[in-house]
């Protein structure tokens, strides 16, 4: 699940945490260990300048602890910029639990993890991510109030994936407006890679908008179910990255835009839910710009989920969540235009806006 693996020499030359390639002045990194439940987790708090660090917990069978650390550092940093660019008063954090969510997750382990979150006194709030369900958040809620994404029946905003998918749909439409001069998806071909919680709802929106959808997943049963339910076709070629489509929507794992894939891409627009889609933000962001591929920054367009969980803290209703998520269309369009005028990558344009907001807050705190 890591997005950029460390080479052997990088491992030898870097210090465990502060010298880690993905370390970006994170405020705090917490290692959680509990022998009785088998819990091994890392909480990464990148920034609390705009508010408490909020970000989901991912449970994944990492190949080694370096991968887990690298993942939590990159993901928590991404959350800081996601909240900032979306205009939310939240900082950036994320947690990873090392282990197989299907076989190693127990209620005791979840609650023990919740106790570690509680010990941070509200500096970090968790939510769902890959390998986690609303039911897990409900268990964590039994031991700490610093958790979002709990069931609607328990007063929460529920599963954030539909809001994430709706935001991605808005960002995708904005990128089409920018590139094709229309946000109509009628007849446009879209490759959706990963048809899980978010991918399925995105497929639903796309099919209602009249797009020609091609799906790809490693889960054959899901492929059969989604193609049957929404009437879309399954990708059958050898190389999914060279699929002849108008739009590529990465909704599985990160780092799919990398040295190996970038020259094979035929899509004119990239807009999807996966976090950290660019293996190297600077390099691959610029290469997409040079190739004339319009890229809707991942951390901007997949913010629907964080809007949904933020609503839980602020007590927003569904209508307000929808309006705020819909606004991703306008923000994406503005950022793509800003990037074009300044001849910078869309990723850097979005980062610039996020950083400006954080710097302003820092300055006002110092006054
Ligand atoms: P999920 O686990 O429900 O779905 C992921 C899907 O991708 C699964 O069906 C899986 O089989 C498939 N997949 C895994 N590896 C693949 C591969 N190599 N090729 C093709 N398919 C593959 O996850 P999700 O909640 O739908 O999230 C999808 C992505 O969006 C993740 O990267 C996640 O971090 C990101 N994201 C999710 C949310 C949210 O609200 N759920 C919010 C922001 C970002």
Q: What is the chain's mean pLDDT, rounded?
A: 94
- Distances from the Cα of 122 to the Cα of 1, 138, 147, 160, angstroms: 27, 17, 9, 21
Residue numbers of the domain that contains 232: 161-356
Ligand 1 nearest atom to the CA of residue 272, by list position:
30
Please, are residues 69 and 42 in contact by the beta-carbon 8 Å criterion?
Answer: yes
Give the pairing type, strands 39-47 and 91-98. Answer: antiparallel
In a domain, 81, yes or no: no
If asked whether residues 110 and 136 sit together in one domain, one would say yes
If asked whether residues 229 and 135 sit together in one domain, one would say no
User: How far is ligand 1, taken at its centre, from the CA of residue 308, in Å?
Assistant: 18
- The Cα 10–Cα 282 span in angstroms is 19
The number of angstroms, rounded, from the C-alpha of 277 to the middle of its chain's C-alpha atoms is 9
- pLDDT digit string (tens) for 275-330? 999 999 999 999 999 999 999 999 999 999 999 988 888 888 889 889 999 999 99
If asked whether residues 115 and 184 sit together in one domain, one would say no
Q: Is 216 in the pocket of ligand 1 (CB under 6 A)?
A: yes
Domain boundary among 154, 171, 198: 154
Supply the pLDDT for residue 305.
Answer: 93
If asked whether residues 229 and 115 sit together in one domain, one would say no
If asked whether residues 99 and 117 sit together in one domain, one would say yes
Mean pLDDT of 333-339: 97
Ligand 1 nearest atom to the CA of residue 303, by list position:
43
Between 140 and 12, the higher pLDDT residue: 140
Q: Is 276 in the pocket of ligand 1 (CB under 6 A)?
A: no
Supply the pLDDT for residue 3.
Answer: 44
Question: Would you name the residues annotated as active-site residues?
Answer: 94
If asked whether residues 97 and 186 sit together in one domain, one would say no
In a domain, 8, yes or no: no
User: How far is ligand 1, taken at its centre, from the CA of residue 194, in Å?
Assistant: 6
In a domain, 351, yes or no: yes
- The Cα 365–Cα 11 span in angstroms is 37
For ligand 1, mutation pick of 55, 192, 205, 273 (most atoms within 8 Å of CB): 273
- pLDDT digit string (tens) for 221-267? 999 999 999 999 999 999 999 999 999 999 998 899 999 999 999 99
Report whether pLDDT(93) > 80: yes
In a domain, 12, yes or no: no
User: How far is ligand 1, taken at its centre, from the CA of residue 197, in Å?
Assistant: 7
CATH of the domain at 334: 3.40.50.720
If asked whether residues 148 and 199 sit together in one domain, one would say no
Ligand 1 nearest atom to the CA of residue 305, by list position:
40
Domain boundary among 119, 154, 189: 154
Q: Is 218 in the pocket of ligand 1 (CB under 6 A)?
A: yes
Report whether pLDDT(66) > 60: yes
Between 167 and 158, the higher pLDDT residue: 167
Ligand 1 nearest atom to the CA of residue 75, by list position:
34
* Environment class of 331 (CB within 10 Å of its CB; exposed 0-12, middle 13-18, buried 19+): buried
Q: Is 163 in the pocket of ligand 1 (CB under 6 A)?
A: no
If asked whether residues 136 and 238 sit together in one domain, one would say no
In a domain, 17, yes or no: no
- The Cα 310–Cα 302 span in angstroms is 14
Ligand 1 nearest atom to the CA of residue 195, by list position:
9
For ligand 1, mutation pick of 126, 156, 196, 216 (most atoms within 8 Å of CB): 196
Supply the pLDDT for residue 4.
Answer: 54
In a domain, 19, yes or no: no
If asked whether residues 189 and 331 sit together in one domain, one would say yes
Report whether pLDDT(97) > 70: yes
Tell me the HSE value of 218 on the side-chain side, using a 13 A CA sphere.
3
Q: Is 225 in the pocket of ligand 1 (CB under 6 A)?
A: no
Mean pLDDT of 86-92: 95
If asked whether residues 188 and 140 sit together in one domain, one would say no
If asked whether residues 197 and 226 sit together in one domain, one would say yes
CATH of the domain at 57: 3.40.50.10860
Q: The pTM is what? A: 0.90
- The Cα 161–Cα 290 span in angstroms is 32
In a domain, 179, yes or no: yes
For ligand 1, mutation pick of 54, 126, 160, 197 (most atoms within 8 Å of CB): 197
- pLDDT digit string (tens) for 1-47? 444 555 666 656 667 788 777 888 999 999 999 999 999 999 999 99
Annotate 111-151 with DSSP letters as a single string.
HHHHHHHHHTTTSEEB-B-TT--HHHHHHHHTT-S-B----
If asked whether residues 28 and 131 sit together in one domain, one would say yes
Supply the pLDDT for residue 347.
Answer: 97
Domain count, the chain: 2
Q: Report the candidate in 45, 96, 50 with the shortest Cα–Cα distance to residue 69.
A: 96
Domain boundary among 137, 154, 171: 154
In a domain, 9, yes or no: no
Q: Is 273 in the pocket of ligand 1 (CB under 6 A)?
A: yes
Q: Is 250 in the pocket of ligand 1 (CB under 6 A)?
A: no
């Amino acid at each position: 699940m890591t997005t950029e693996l460390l080479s052997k020499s990088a491992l030898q030359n870097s210090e465990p945490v502060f010298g880690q390639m993905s370390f970006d002045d994170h405020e705090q990194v917490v290692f959680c260990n509990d022998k009785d439940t088998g819990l091994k987790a890392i909480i990464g708090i990148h920034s609390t300048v705009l508010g408490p660090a909020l970000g989901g917990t991912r449970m994944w069978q990492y190949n080694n602890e370096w991968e887990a650390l690298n993942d939590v550092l990159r993901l928590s940093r991404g959350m800081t910029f996601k909240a900032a660019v979306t205009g939310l008063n939240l900082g950036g954090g994320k947690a990873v639990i090392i282990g197989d969510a299907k076989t190693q997750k127990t209620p005791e382990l979840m609650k023990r993890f919740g106790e570690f979150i509680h010990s941070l006194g509200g500096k970090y709030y968790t939510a769902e991510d890959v390998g986690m369900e609303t039911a897990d958040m409900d268990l964590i809620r039994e031991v700490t109030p610093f958790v979002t994404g709990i069931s609607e029946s328990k007063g929460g905003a529920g599963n954030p994936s539909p809001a994430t998918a709706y935001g991605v749909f808005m960002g995708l439409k904005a990128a089409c407006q920018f590139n094709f001069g229309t946000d109509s998806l009628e007849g446009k071909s879209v490759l959706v890679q990963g048809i899980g919680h978010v991918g399925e709802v995105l497929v639903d929106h796309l099919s209602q908008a009249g797009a020609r959808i091609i799906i790809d997943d490693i889960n054959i049963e899901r492929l059969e179910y989604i193609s049957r339910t929404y009437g879309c076709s399954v990708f059958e070629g050898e190389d999914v990255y060279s699929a002849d489509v108008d739009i590529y929507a990465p909704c599985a794992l990160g780092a799919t835009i990398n040295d190996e894939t970038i020259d094979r891409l035929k899509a004119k627009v990239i807009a999807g839910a996966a976090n950290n889609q660019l293996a190297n933000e600077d390099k691959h962001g610029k290469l997409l710009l040079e190739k004339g591929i319009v890229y809707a920054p991942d951390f901007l367009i997949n913010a629907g989920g964080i809007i949904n969980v933020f609503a839980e803290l602020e007590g927003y209703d569904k209508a307000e969540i929808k309006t705020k998520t819909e606004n991703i269309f306008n923000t994406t369009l503005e950022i793509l235009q800003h990037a074009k005028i300044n001849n910078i990558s869309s990723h850097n344009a979005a980062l610039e806006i996020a950083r400006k907001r954080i710097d302003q807050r820092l300055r006002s705190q110092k006054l």
